[in-house]
Amino acid sequence: MTRPPGPLYVTAMPNAQNHDRSTAPDRIDPDNKTPGEVYLCQVSPTVSCGACCGLYNVQNPSRETMTRMLEDRTSRFAKVPRTIEAIDHFAGDAFFRVEGQKQPVKDFHHCPFLGLIGPGNHTVGCLLHPLGEGNAGVDWRGLSYYGSFACATYFCPTCHELAPRYKRLIRKAADHWYDYGLMITETDLMGTFLAQVEDRMGRRVDDRDLEQRPEAVTRIREFLAIKTVWPFRDPAQPRLTHFFFHKKAHQPPAIGLQCPEAEASPWAPVLTALWSVIPSPAILSEAESLLNRMADGLAMALK
């Protein structure tokens, strides 16, 4: 079983706070370098996020398929000579393997340099980063679609929009990059769910509440997997990737189109973010009951 991550540190190398870790003596707390003061990118030996690089914008975003894709890509890149020509050739091949398919969001670039990094290759990260294996400290990110400056300086809206206590709670409980990356950019979904938990408890919650409460950690991990098991998802929109760069583009339809009562539901932001189909008050009641059970279970585990 993966232990919850301890204190987060990365090397004081330019731009390193956005990517890998090292054992160099000069170390900084990445929370201090992150907008919102909670670092969310490379969290632990098994938890990281590549959502801003279009990680989940593939035809089949299942955990098994994506793991195989990243393992294969990482293995192939390890054999690539570190020259501009060779890296460009690799990118073209990897790009065709993904972009040649029908992607859920056609103008959301999936970076072909996403791979598995870190000890044992258990987290998602950038294969071009100067700390990456085989790069000998050279920053090859300038060869990526967005360039090295964007890669080194971009922070997702979650850093600014989600309450710090919620970010710390999720960060501490998460145990796998797949579920964590699917959810960490879903600010409305996570904020609504955790606010409902707090309403039940009559107080705020944070990561300290997880100490000596393994059942609470399990409940949060179940919540992080909700996208992949949600029974009310629109079968015509089997999309897991979240396009969070523009609030009006590629967003799910209004939840009350078929059932106006859904708009007034306390769970409306969650139902919307999950691309739910709510055709009747009866289905709305079923969906709300499932979410209420999840919130009740976490609240009980945190008491």
- pLDDT of 87-126, one tens digit each? 999 998 877 676 556 788 888 889 999 999 999 999 999 9
DSSP summary character for residue 291: H
In sign, the C-alpha dihedral spanning 45, 194, 191, 273 is: positive
Q: What residues are paired with 27 via a beta bridge? A: 11
The pLDDT value given to residue 1: 30
79, amino acid identity: K
**In the chain, which residues have pLDDT < 50?**
1-26
What is the three-class DSSP state of 81?
Answer: coil
The pLDDT value given to residue 27: 56
The pLDDT value given to residue 253: 84
| Of 209, 165, 208, 211, residue with least CA distance to 190 | 165
The pLDDT value given to residue 10: 31
* Separation CA 200–CA 295 (nearest Å): 8
pTM: 0.86
* Separation CA 193–CA 31 (nearest Å): 24
